[in-house]
């Protein structure tokens, strides 16, 4: 069997051992004569998975008893609405850090509910860098401060949490959740679509702090969009297949050595790629060095013509899904947790040959 070197931004590569485990037990889960995804979500088998995944997420992130874990549907995009629907009342203000397309989408939704104060916007410079601490201008008393930890499209990343004026952070961590340690004490809510760094598409992880939930609005909220509806019980059918796979990915993360291990691993991969980019002028990183993402490495070549050739020749070397997002152009190598070191080495090797030939 030949697997590609997969640099897809999402849905993205998954650990082979997880895929094989699911494959092996797919049609006959634990000798039950059926797959897990043909069973009731209220049965013992799925209940155990839901519980294990919850406990693993808490253990990996260091979240204590003050935290709830929810497995919701609708993608991270639904959280753009659900967060202000629950927490931002008319007349109240939430602070948002605008560092890319996903942040802007979150801001657009929040504007439907209350006041949005944009604490920083990187838009004028086409989102090519993140704010320094002194560039963040917060409002007086925000209900929360929202940020996007990794900007999947532009290729920038917060390595540590932005300082706020005192409010708790709400984070869209869709494209770097569990790629490095976080300071959980600073957060009120973290959400992440699974399909980049955690599993297949179909489930959104929401980690929600109980003390933050106390700030929930008093106005009526549609039942399915109310976080409380999903706490302590399954309100409706969860995406069982996605949660089942996420649970194995979490097990794999723990076995490897948790967030410290992945931090080192992801730093090593990113270093290899950025070093190659920085060797001379042939490859050109698209964002400020201090803001570079260790998950989505974005760069350009001297011409669009060469970029096209790069992509097609890369594909013939088994290096796949490297095309940049249409709003940035160029090349994007997404190197999430499950991207192997060998894949990055193969890409660097190809980049060297390509430069030698065309540079
Ligand atoms: C992909 C992505 C989204 C959108 O996720 P959906 O699950 O497709 O709604 C939101 N935010 C970030 C940072 C992303 O990378």
Within 8 A by CB and 6+ apart from 283, the residues are 276, 277, 299, 300, 301, 351, 355
pLDDT tens sequence across 50-85? 999 999 999 999 999 999 999 999 999 999 999 999
pLDDT of residue 144: 98
pLDDT of residue 327: 86
pTM for this prediction: 0.98
Query: Is residue 359 scored above 90 in pLDDT?
Result: no
Ligand 1 pocket, 75 CB below 6 A? Answer: yes
Binning pLDDT at 50, 70 and 90, where does residue 127 land?
very high
Query: Is residue 1 scored above 80 in pLDDT?
Result: no
* Dist. CA 117 → ligand 1 center (Å): 22
* Dist. CA 177 → ligand 1 center (Å): 12
Average pLDDT value for residue range 230-248:
97
Average pLDDT value for residue range 279-287:
97
pLDDT of residue 183: 97
In the chain, how many H helices and how many E strands?
9, 14
Average pLDDT value for residue range 296-301:
98
Ligand 1 pocket, 174 CB below 6 A? Answer: yes
pLDDT tens sequence across 92-109? 999 999 999 999 999 999
pLDDT tens sequence across 134-185? 999 999 999 999 999 999 999 999 999 999 988 999 999 999 999 999 999 9
Alpha helices in the chain (DSSP H): 16-25, 44-61, 75-87, 101-110, 210-213, 240-256, 258-277, 304-316, 341-358
pLDDT tens sequence across 20-58? 999 999 999 999 999 999 999 999 999 999 999 999 999
Q: Report how far residue 3's alpha carbon sits from residue 209's, in angstroms, rounded to the nearest whole number.
A: 40
**Catalytic sites, residue numbers:** 102, 172, 196
Mean pLDDT, the chain, integer: 97
pLDDT of residue 199: 98
In the chain, what are the domains? 17-255 (3.40.640.10), 258-358 (3.90.1150.10)
Specify the residue with its C-alpha closest to ligand 1, atom 7. Answer: 75
Ligand 1 pocket, 11 CB below 6 A? Answer: no
């Amino acid at each position: 069997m030949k697997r590609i070197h997969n640099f897809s931004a999402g849905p993205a590569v998954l650990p082979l051992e997880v895929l094989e485990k699911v494959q092996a037990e797919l049609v006959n889960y634990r000798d039950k004569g059926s797959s897990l995804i043909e069973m009731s979500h209220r049965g013992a088998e799925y209940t155990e998975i839901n519980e294990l995944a919850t406990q693993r997420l808490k253990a990996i992130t260091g979240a204590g008893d003050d935290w709830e874990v929810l497995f919701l549907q609708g993608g991270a995009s639904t959280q753009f609405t659900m967060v202000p629907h629950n927490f931002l009342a008319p007349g109240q203000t939430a602070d948002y850090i605008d560092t890319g397309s996903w942040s802007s989408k979150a801001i657009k939704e929040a504007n439907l509910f209350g006041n949005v104060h944009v604490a920083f916007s990187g838009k004028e410079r086409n989102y090519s860098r993140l704010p320094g601490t002194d560039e963040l201008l917060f409002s007086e008393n925000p209900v929360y401060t929202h940020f996007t930890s990794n900007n999947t499209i532009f290729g920038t990343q917060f390595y540590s949490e932005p300082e706020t004026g005192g409010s708790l952070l709400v984070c869209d961590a869709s494209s770097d959740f569990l790629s490095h340690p976080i300071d959980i004490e600073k957060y009120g809510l973290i959400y992440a679509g699974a399909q980049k760094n955690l599993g297949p598409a179909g489930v959104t992880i929401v980690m929600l702090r109980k003390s933050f939930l106390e700030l929930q609005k008093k106005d009526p909220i549609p039942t399915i969009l109310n976080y409380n509806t999903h706490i302590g019980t399954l309100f409706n059918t969860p995406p069982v297949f996605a949660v089942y796979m996420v649970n194995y990915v979490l097990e794999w993360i723990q076995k490897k050595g948790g967030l410290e291990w992945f931090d080192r691993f992801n730093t090593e991969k990113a270093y290899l790629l950025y070093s190659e980019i920085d060797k001379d002028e042939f490859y050109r990183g698209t964002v400020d060095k201090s803001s570079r993402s260790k998950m989505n490495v974005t760069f350009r070549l001297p011409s669009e013509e060469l970029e096209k050739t790069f992509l097609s020749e890369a594909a013939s070397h088994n290096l796949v899904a490297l095309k940049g997002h249409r709003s940035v152009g160029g090349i994007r190598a997404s190197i999430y947790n499950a991207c192997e070191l060998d894949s990055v080495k193969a890409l660097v090797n190809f980049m060297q040959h390509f430069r030698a030939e065309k540079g």
